[in-house]
Amino acid sequence: MNSPKTRFRDAFLNGETLIGSFLKIANTQPAEILGAAGYDFVVVDEEHAPFSRESTDRIILACKAWDIAALVRVQGPAPEMILSVLDCGADGVLVPHVDSAEKARAVVSAARYAGGARGYSPTTRAGRFGGARMQAHTEAQDARVTVIAMIEDVAALDHLDEIMVVDGLDGIFIGRGDLTVAMGQSSGTAAPVVEAVGMITDAARRAGKAICVMSSSASDMRSLAAQGATAFITSSDQTLLKSAAAQGLEEARAALAST
């Protein structure tokens, strides 16, 4: 992969194993720390965390400085939501609640120039602030921007094959949390959810689409890898901070209790 890790799309499409983390904290330092640690990518979570366009922009810049790919889970499929993060230089988007081929095509159209309807402006970070000529800019962006549809609705299960074959869609993210709630279950290990995940991975493999998942346990990751997943979001900056804080506090109390 070229440095910095902005060739995430090449690795994703080639089925390389990629490890990433969600970002929930609207600050650059979590991204910088994960980049320094050697993570392959982060996902700025605009859907569920308090990011502004400006904070997302700063984090994308920090990712470029620390050699880590920056994806953004946008709030929704609106073209302006997708365009804003791509103009900031994001390496790709995760778009929530894609439950039909029509939605998938609209998402791809918003993210692509050729065959799509992405708004054009070269005076952005993505366009080297006016330094990239039109054809070079549009071709480079279409080659590097990764488009990932989040499959997390019961309605999507009836349209998996149609969604997967949408041209320009690079892969899918299985939103097991939303899917679990939507199916009226209380655990991602419930039989209906496991069956649905199998349906999704089978459809993705048939269409040759890359699969991204969130997974935090070794056994779960191995199971999903066996089903074809290659990109793994293993945690979030909040979870990592919470875990380290709890461990540090426990160790400090134990040490002081023994004195």
Which residues are part of the catalytic machinery? 48
Which residues have a Cβ under 8 Å from the Cβ of 6 and sit 6 or more positions away? 64, 69, 91, 144
Residue 253, C-beta contacts closer than 8 angstroms, at least 6 positions apart: none
Q: CB of 42 within 8 A of CB of 20? A: yes
Interatomic CA distance for residues 35 and 20, integer angstroms: 10
Tokens 């990629």 belong to residue? 18
- Spatial distance between the Cα atoms of 240 and 235, rounded to a whole number of angstroms: 7
Q: Which amino acid is at 63?
A: C
**Of residues 202, 206, 213, 204, the one with CA closest to residue 235:** 213
Q: Is 96 left (phi over 0), alpha (psi -120 to 50) or beta?
A: beta
Which sign does the torsion angle of CA 169, 172, 173, 174 carry? positive
DSSP state of 220: H
Report, in this order, helix, strand and coil percent for the chain, each rounded to 5. 50, 15, 35
What the block records as the tokens of 132 is 């990239």
